[in-house]
Structure 1
Amino acid sequence: MARSQIGDSGLELILDILRRRKWAGLMTFAAIFSLAAPFSIFLPDIYRGSATVIVESQDASSDFVKASVPELETRLVTIQQEILSRSRLSDLINRLNLYPRMRGQVPTDALVERMRRDIHVEFTGTDQNRGRPTTIGLKISYIGLDPKSAAEVPNALASLYVQENSRMRERQTGQMAQFLKSQLATAAQELERQDGRLKAFKEQRAGELPDQVSINLVTLERLNTQLRINTENQQKARERHDHLVEQFARGGESHDELAALRQKLNDLQVKFTDKYPEVIQIKAQISELERKRVNESSSQTSRLPRLTETVRSTEGELSALQREEQMLRAQIATYDQRLQLAPKHEQELEKLESDYKTAKATYDSLQSRYEEAQLADSLEQTKKGESFRVLDTAIAPTQPAAPNRFRLLLMALGFALGSAVGVMLLAEHRDTSFHSIGELRQFTSIPVLASIPYLKVQTNLGPQLLRVALSVGVVVAVCALLAVASYHAARENTQLVWMLAGSQL
């Protein structure tokens, strides 16, 4: 009674819970352990083999190759996709006789996918000044069910990496050289076309180009000076010509005056006699003019041919000066037009020169890249460029890499115990009945007057034992089913071993 008054102790509560919930805990423990223990027992032993491939550059001139071959990281990804392709892995499966139990039972694609999961490629590198890691090697690992395949597969993949890298580099450098050669030929044709356009433009616009403006200005000034001199010469020639014509005109005027006087004398003689004063005066004038005419005729007889020749020479000189003037004015108009067209031709010339410079720069760039591609191709042919080399080959392991069965059993035992305790506590939490006076006193403040102990009554044990046997049988059957399911799930499940092993692999 004393203990009922002060309440139940913690140990007694735990023991009471164990007595009440022992079957629930035992069934949970059995079920969980039956499910977890076969994993640690039936998981396959897996063997891990690794091969290391390093990237080495044997010649400093391999920088020429970088412009013709893709970046190392990109190339590694491409090679990895090629090696892990269906055709390559199918060939390895058949050649190395991998997964013999699964072959014929599952499709080829499933085997290839399984092998991809069993292959792991790890890139190793070092930090460069550019702030990002640069790959200097790779580690190829394979987990298999036997030591032989665990060594053969990484070695085969490492050899494929080396061969595929060499083949890709040779193909890339050769293709790049051929491509640049065709591009260079196209650029040469374009350069020749632009050069022809530029030369044709300069020939068609000779004298009208911007760099000839100063020469045209000097020539135009010289032509204007010649035109001014020509104008002055023409003025002088006209003056000489007019003077000569005036001299001819004076000779004609004397003949006309004598004829007029004679006509006037005839008219006066009809009206008057010879003694008429005006008649006498006119006769005197006629006599004077005839005397002068006789004197002048003797001198003009020698001067007339020379004067005629001089007039003709003057007229010829004047005609020549006029033709020279026309020529000068035409030349001045031509040069003036050249000066006016110079700004327009300057824009056209700048465009043509820009197109030519662009074509020349493209040609020079392609020429340089083509020479580098040829050098890269030569380096690849002589194996002086960047190459892959197998540093460490995989050897057949003597001990399995995983699983650690003892640790897995401890984990299964701990998980099963924890699950059993959790189920018992959950069942106790969901039970709302009172199992002791202490629990009742904690629930209500009404005093407890008395407690009636549990009275065991002698009954027929047959039905009770039958129920217990059936319950045990059901539990055993469930545990067996869970164990079988766990066995099939763990059998040859290398990926599960990889996940459970974690960093150990």
Structure 2
Amino acid sequence: MNGLYDELLVALHGIWLRRWLALGVGWAIALVGWTVVGMIPNRYESVSRILIQTNSLLPDKVGITSQDQQQGIESVRQTLLSAVNLQQVVRGTDLAQRAKTDKAVADAAAGLTKNIKIISQQDNLFEISASSGDSSLSDATNAKLSRQIVQKLIDLFVDGNLAGGRMETGQTLTFLNAQLNLRGQQLADAEAKRQQFSEKYMALLPGTGSISDRIDAARTEMSRIDGDLSAAQSGLAAVNGQLAATPAATRTPGTMSAGAVGDGRAAAIQAQIADGQARGWTNAHPDMVALRNQLARTPAGGGGTGSMSAGTSTPNPMYVSLRSMQAEKQAVAGALSSRKAQIQAQINGVLAAQAANPEMAAQQTELDRNYTVLKTQYDKMLADREDVKLRGQVQTQTDAIKFSVIDPPSAPRIPAAPNRPLLLTLVLLVALAGGAGAAFALGQLRKTYATAPRLAAASGLPVLGSIGEVIPQAEKTERRRKLKLFAGGGAALAGVYAILMIVEFIQRSMVA
């Protein structure tokens, strides 16, 4: 610790011996540094904050989501610093006094790009700042100009969202109306071609869809009819079997003899046989075979005669009911057969038309595809137009977006840059350090030994003694005079620093 302390004392002694060098270097560094700091123009910055409030009730109902609103706000923020808007800022502020031509306005607008910042502090809170530091203008003018730029940006921010949104809505509606008229005409032409094709070919086979779809539907219906026809024929055969085993009349005991009853039944069976022959049934038909067997079992079937007794003969209700069911099932089976034949004829007609015109299916597919595409586009554009209309009404008749100025553009009183008091102080400290460093470096270049131990350590020889300096009275007087001059030089350096600080604060008070 003592060695370190001795080294410090030796270094300070060496600097003190070369104090005039340290003072001169310090003055040189200070003058150069303060001159550079004085040449830096003051830059004044004005800041404002605005809040954008979105109406979250009605817009959501018409499809204007919060995401759409945020995208609209972000778009306005991005386009706010466009060249056109910045030129409007130049023309709307005191910058227009210096920018007389279009080229000068464009150059001034390009210079504003680096001096304007728009920062999103929160979702709906924006900070707009602008700075002005033209060296050819006074500090008061720069401060005023920065505030004007921010105010003009706020005006453009509001107008760009409201008026721009309405203009965009009008242009969009004009475009959609023109496209709807064009799509409507194309859709009408496509529909007319489909109608002509349908009247020429599709009338052969009813239904909807393409030709192949209609053929498939017809074949499906034929399969269903085949099933129904088989069920109807099975039911008819069952009724015929029951009818063959059911007598046509019933005999009341004591009213008619066996011969008379047999004659009546035989007559009824013969009538059924005649009816079957009229329908075209052959003798091998199951119903005809059953009727002839029944006729053979009838007592009067062999041609015998009978006599009347005290009894009577009445029609059999079961037989009558079965005859009715038989007629009904015959009608159903006949209708199904006719429908099957009709559908088969329609399918044959379409297949014949396809054979005559192989491109018919491809033509129909193309017509349907074009019509479907045009119809989809037309419906979508129609819905979009109504949506745009409703959005435009919402923006016009309701305040979908509100702008609130939280902090109006500030009137700067002190420059945002540079921090001149800090720079002046740093220059002074650098000057003092530079002067001391120069004196110390010179002392290191010139090898002298301030104490006997340092000389002994450097030479390696023992030092027997040391002789102190004897200063005459005249030398002492001269040293006191030089010391006063040195103190005056140091005080002058501090005085210049103080004067510069006073001048800086006086200039700030003049801006305020």
Match of 2:435 among 420, 425, 449: 420
Deviation at 1:195, TM superposition (A): 3.0
1:259 aligns to what? none
Comparing 390-399 and 28-37, the one that deviates more: 390-399
Match of 2:400 among 385, 391, 412: 385
Deviation at 1:73, TM superposition (A): 0.9
Q: Which amino acid aligns with 1:56?
A: Q
Match of 2:212 among 196, 210, 213: 210
* Cα distance between partner residues in 2 of 1:336 and 1:24: 118
2:370 aligns to what? 355
CA separation of 1:38 and 1:190: change in aligned 2, threshold 3 A = same
* Cα distance between partner residues in 2 of 1:367 and 1:7: 91
CA separation of 1:447 and 1:383: change in aligned 2, threshold 3 A = same
CA separation of 1:203 and 1:69: change in aligned 2, threshold 3 A = farther
1:72 aligns to what? 73
SS at match of 1:125: coil
Unaligned runs of 5+ in 2: 134-138, 206-210, 226-344, 476-481
Deviation at 1:370, TM superposition (A): 0.9
1:189 counterpart = 2:188: no
2:166 aligns to what? 170
Q: Which amino acid aligns with 1:447?
A: L
Q: Is the 8 A contact 2:354 2:360 kept in 1?
A: no
Matches within 5 A, 1:56-455: 56-58=53-55, 60-63=57-60, 64=63, 71-81=72-82, 84-94=85-95, 112=109, 115-126=112-123, 135-142=124-131, 145-146=139-140, 148-206=144-202, 207=204, 209-214=211-216, 334-338=349-353, 349-394=364-409, 396=411, 406-428=421-443, 431=445, 433-435=447-449, 438-439=453-454, 441-442=456-457, 446-447=460-461
SS at match of 1:54: strand
2:16 aligns to what? 19
Q: Is the 8 A contact 1:173 1:377 kept in 2?
A: yes
* Cα distance between partner residues in 1 of 2:428 and 2:465: 41
Q: Is the 8 A contact 1:68 1:176 kept in 2?
A: no
Deviations 1:401-456 (A, max 9, x none): 67665444433322323333444455555x27454565555556x42567998999
* Cα distance between partner residues in 2 of 1:48 and 1:151: 8
* Cα distance between partner residues in 1 of 2:440 and 2:380: 80
Q: Which amino acid aligns with 1:16?
A: H
CA separation of 1:22 and 1:113: change in aligned 2, threshold 3 A = farther
CA separation of 1:216 and 1:42: change in aligned 2, threshold 3 A = closer
Larger radius of gyration: 1
Unaligned runs of 5+ in 1: 127-134, 223-329, 462-467, 498-505
2:231 aligns to what? none
* Cα distance between partner residues in 1 of 2:367 and 2:381: 21
* Cα distance between partner residues in 2 of 1:180 and 1:421: 80
SS at match of 1:121: strand
* Cα distance between partner residues in 2 of 1:168 and 1:7: 75
Deviations 1:91-117 (A, max 9, x none): 41256x689xxx99x966665555555
Identity across aligned pairs (percent)?
A: 17
2:295 aligns to what? none
* Cα distance between partner residues in 2 of 1:418 and 1:385: 63
* Cα distance between partner residues in 1 of 2:4 and 2:406: 75
Deviation at 1:124, TM superposition (A): 2.8
1:287 aligns to what? none
2:25 aligns to what? 28
* Cα distance between partner residues in 1 of 2:434 and 2:414: 34
Match of 2:50 among 41, 49, 53: 53
Deviations 1:263-317 (A, max 9, x none): xxxxxxxxxxxxxxxxxxxxxxxxxxxxxxxxxxxxxxxxxxxxxxxxxxxxxxx
Deviation at 1:13, TM superposition (A): 1.6
Q: Is the 8 A contact 1:90 1:112 kept in 2?
A: no
2:331 aligns to what? none
Q: Is the 8 A contact 1:54 1:136 kept in 2?
A: yes
Deviation at 1:89, TM superposition (A): 0.9
Q: Which amino acid aligns with 2:377?
A: T
